[in-house]
Amino acid sequence: MTSVYFRPNRVGKALVAAGKRLRRESPTYGTWWLRYRDEAGRKVRESCEARMEAEAERLVHEKAMRAERVRAGLEKMPVPPITCAELLEKYMAASQHLASIKPMQSQLRRWVGPHFGKKLVTQVTPADCEALLQKSRDAGQAATTTRVLYIRARLVFEYACKKLLVIEKNPWASVSHPPLPRRAVKVLRPEQIGALLAAAGPWRPLLLVAILTGLRRGELAALRWEDIDWSAGANGVIHVRRSWGRDTTKGGKERLVPVHPQLRPELEAYRRNAGATEGLVFPSTRTGGMRYATWPVTALLRNIAARAGVNLPEGFTFHGLRKQFGSLVHQATGDLVTTQRLLGHANPQITAAVYLATDVGHLEQQMGKVRLTVGAADEHVANTWATFQGESPAVHEAKALQIQGLPAMPATISADADSRWCRTQSSAWPRGLPGIPHALGRSGLDRPPHPERSRMERPALPHPRHSNDSSPLALAPNVLCPLHVRAPPAGVSASGDPSWKSASLAFGAALRCRARALVATRRAWR
């Protein structure tokens, strides 16, 4: 339902008060107003800049038709364009719940905001995105920092695409991920771990908990004695619920980590010495409260390593103890899913790619199972005739096919003696030999051929469903096998003596007879 009406201004009202006729003309004597239903189906009243009634009616019909098309899904709802600066403010306001909000805000305001400025979001191109990454590289930032910048900037424009609906396609989708070299995960050897624990002094419980639970730095700082259920399981269970001052972990979910048998006596002794039954497990030594996010545990680890005389791997940080835990669990169990759940990762791919060290001992064990067969390559030569010089062609053919892993079967070259030879060899095969199905005698192979039947003549074949035989390859009794095999070559017995040579040839001929008869049956009923 659409309509228009005219609302007079002071001049128009003066004309009406003077008893004169009101001229409905905008903007001299008033304003035209429109009434229609918007995209959500709500009644809308709004003014327009139409001068006369015809123009106002045209505008209201256009707005009503556009709203109708949007409700029907034929068009998208028009959204007013916004600038990149406005987009950043909206995204950061909607991302306050994220665990990494502070470093994200710092990077977005320092790099993304100044780069795009007040440019409209709809005008941002993939080339502008590439220029931002190149600016980060030119500033000397590490490849990891540039990759994080790419991920965060892409999330900002993904928010504009899927939440605000101001753009149809994310321009960052056409920009490839910055390459990040994958280095091998570096872990400590058992003797190095023992030396670190021996030289840790009062920090021994901290290192031991980090190595045997895999907790993150913020999770260690927020760990409370109430989070440890000593009655659960064999040695207790740690409920990892929070990180730093947040009520959730980095992954946004709680996880359970069983207490290791070697860890429980250490924790109980540490609790008795601290005289605490509740509160933080590792509080600040100055204030007794929560430690700051700048807790220098990596510097602490390196000082302990220097006192112990342990050379840490290059680039090894306190977070490496978490990777040490993941590698120990996976090497002991071989269960990737269990390792992922203990570490609290979203999927096993992250665990396998970033947190597991290469188990050289396992690789050596598996490589020890490899055995090189000497001379195997000499037996299979390109020209098999050279290997069997002096033997008959049939014997050579059988051996050559056996080397290739195929059953020994004669070729189809004869025309007259084929069926007779096939019948002779199949009858010569003794029934009841192990490995040879007795059903071979049910296909008509041991029946004599028809004396007047031509080679090219196709026999009348009954429908398979009318056969009384339950075998899937069974044929009617009067069906001859349409196989034409050559007569036994010289040197191969064709009598009733079931020697291996004649028996193998007979068995191959029988199989081929049955296969070709089945093909002929299927073709006859197509």
Give dist(CA 221, CA 270) in Å, integer.
16
**Residue 425 identity:** Q
Give dist(CA 507, CA 428) in Å, integer.
10
For domain 190-361, give the CATH superfamily: Intergrase catalytic core (1.10.443.10)
pLDDT at 309 over 90: yes
**In 410-511, at which residue ranges do the beta strands (DSSP E only) sit?**
none
pLDDT at 453 over 60: no
Residue 362 has a pLDDT of 76
Map out the domains of the chain as residue ranges. Answer: 3-72, 84-163, 190-361
CA-based nearest residue to 398, from 495, 516, 500: 500
pLDDT at 167 over 80: yes
Are 177 and 227 within 8 A, CB to CB?
Answer: no
Residue 399 has a pLDDT of 55
Residue 522 has a pLDDT of 72
Give dist(CA 320, CA 216) in Å, integer.
10
Query: φ and ψ at 228, to 5 degrees?
Result: -100, 115
**What's the CATH class of domain 84-163?**
mainly alpha
Residue 79 has a pLDDT of 75
Residue 526 has a pLDDT of 59
Residue 468 has a pLDDT of 46
The pLDDT-based confidence of 457 (bands split at 50, 70, 90) is very low
> Per residue in 372-401, pLDDT tens?
765 544 444 444 444 444 455 555 555 555
Residue 470 has a pLDDT of 42
Give dist(CA 67, CA 414) in Å, integer.
83
pLDDT at 368 over 70: yes
Mean pLDDT in residue range 88-117: 90
Share of residues in the chain with pLDDT > 70 (%): 74
pLDDT at 472 over 90: no
pLDDT at 259 over 70: yes
Residue 502 has a pLDDT of 63
The pLDDT-based confidence of 486 (bands split at 50, 70, 90) is very low
User: Among the listed ranges 222-226, 254-258, 431-435, which one has the minimum average pLDDT value?
Assistant: 431-435
Give dist(CA 85, CA 112) in Å, integer.
9
